[in-house]
Amino acid sequence: RWNTRLRQEYLYRKSLKGKECQHYEKRCRIQEVLGKGKPIPTKLRNEGLALRREIDLGDQDRAVPRSIIDDKYAGATLREPMILLTTSRNPGAPLTQFFK
């Protein structure tokens, strides 16, 4: 049961990675076209305005798509990780609430 949940989560994140890569490629194409002063391609015109706003904002976190492997430890430098130690394999809700 645990492995199937992990597998589903991995596949879901993998599909999101594919979407992010497509979004990144579209964004790069629009940025390149705007740099040359050419009109936006017809395929990207519907999304052109939103992508242009993103380019103008220049969000550094989304500049290059990240790997799903790095996702787990992305905030480790910002705050200390929380550690939960129990004597039970499957602690109940009251026990976990007590430790929090």
24-48 pLDDT, tens digit per residue, is 777 778 778 878 888 877 777 777 6
How would residue 71 be classed by pLDDT, with cut points 50, 70 and 90?
low
Give dist(CA 29, CA 40) in Å, integer.
9
- Residues contacting residue 100 through CB under 8 Å, at least 6 positions apart: 84
- Mean pLDDT over each residue of the chain, to the nearest integer: 71
How would residue 66 be classed by pLDDT, with cut points 50, 70 and 90?
low
37-66 average pLDDT score:
67
Q: What Å distances lie between residue 48 and 7, 41, 55, CA to CA?
A: 35, 9, 10
0.75 cut: is pTM over it? no
Residue 41 has a pLDDT of 76
Domain coordinates of the chain in residue numbers? 1-66
How would residue 68 be classed by pLDDT, with cut points 50, 70 and 90?
low
Give dist(CA 7, CA 15) in Å, integer.
12
Say what percent of the chain tops pLDDT 70: 57
